[in-house]
Chain A
Amino acid sequence: MSNVAEMGGAQVNPGVDPNTMSIIVTKGSLDWAYPPFILSTTAAAMGLDVTMFFTFYGLPLLMKDLKLQVSSLGNPAMKMPMMGMHMGMPNLVSAIPGVDAAASKMMKNLIKKKGVASIPELRELAVEADVRMIACQMTLDLFEYSQDDMIEGIEIGGAATYIEVATKSHINLFI
């Protein structure tokens, strides 16, 4: 076929199951942990086979003991609802020790209050839904993590492992 119009909408590469998705997870702060886990659990609930590849700062999201924090430093879009308005935090204030911890606590309170799932809860649901999780070997070495620190049931792999998954996935996301 010579052009998109002739193809009559979405086309799937031959041999690629349309109900497949992969996500590269590169960020591990409390806020950035949400998109990959929300999308992976929802996709699995909608019948997709999902693989998550955890690399760099995304890798700690696989640790048994999650100590997730959010930082307002360099994040002008982070405005918390306070006293009837939305308040941001100047970088100079964000840099003060203890401010990240306070902001994280505030975020966790909001999450609870609004009926939003916690990250441990979403991760548990992802495991239950048979989402395949691959930890990046290079990141384990680089930041001196041990597989013993990670949850059960994960695999270890590298770039080639992910690329093989990507070639067989209809949807590939980088978060």
Chain B
Amino acid sequence: MADQVLDAKGLNCPLPILKAKKALKTLEGGKTLEIQSTDPGSVADFAAFCRTTGNELVEQSEEGGVWTYLIRKTG
């Protein structure tokens, strides 16, 4: 269970990333954020975002056109 959940469904690039960044800002280090997105581009973008910022992409999955990402704030 994530510490915080962000519903970014229906939002297009770059809004899922921008909203995720805002949500991560309010989280303490070590806590997790779950993001739900319908943007197919978010797959590549969240991977790049995590590689660049040092946050950990713990897991990701897709079901019925909704991608779910679990990110741990480490960056």
Contacts and interface: CB of A to CB of B under 8 A. Distances in A.
B15 A115 contact: yes
Interface string A109-133: 0000011110000000100000000
B21 A45 contact: yes
A23 to B, nearest CB: 14
Contact of B12 (A42, A46, A114, A125): A114
A9 interface: no
A8 interface: no
B11 A45 contact: no
A45 B12 contact: no
A115 B10 contact: yes
Nearest to A117: B15
Contacts of B49: 45-46
A42 B17 contact: yes
Contact of B52 (A46, A115, A116, A125): A46
Contacts of A47: 52-53, 75
Interface of B: 10-15, 17-18, 20-21, 39, 49, 52-53, 75
A115 B13 CA distance: 9
8 contacts: A38-B14, A41-B18, A45-B14, A45-B17, A45-B49, A47-B53, A47-B75, A125-B18
Contact of B18 (A42, A114, A115, A116): A42
Contacts of A117: 11-12, 14-15
A41 B20 CA distance: 12
A41 B75 CA distance: 18
B52 A42 contact: no
Nearest to B75: A47
B33 to A, nearest CB: 13
Interface in A32-76: 38, 41-42, 45-47
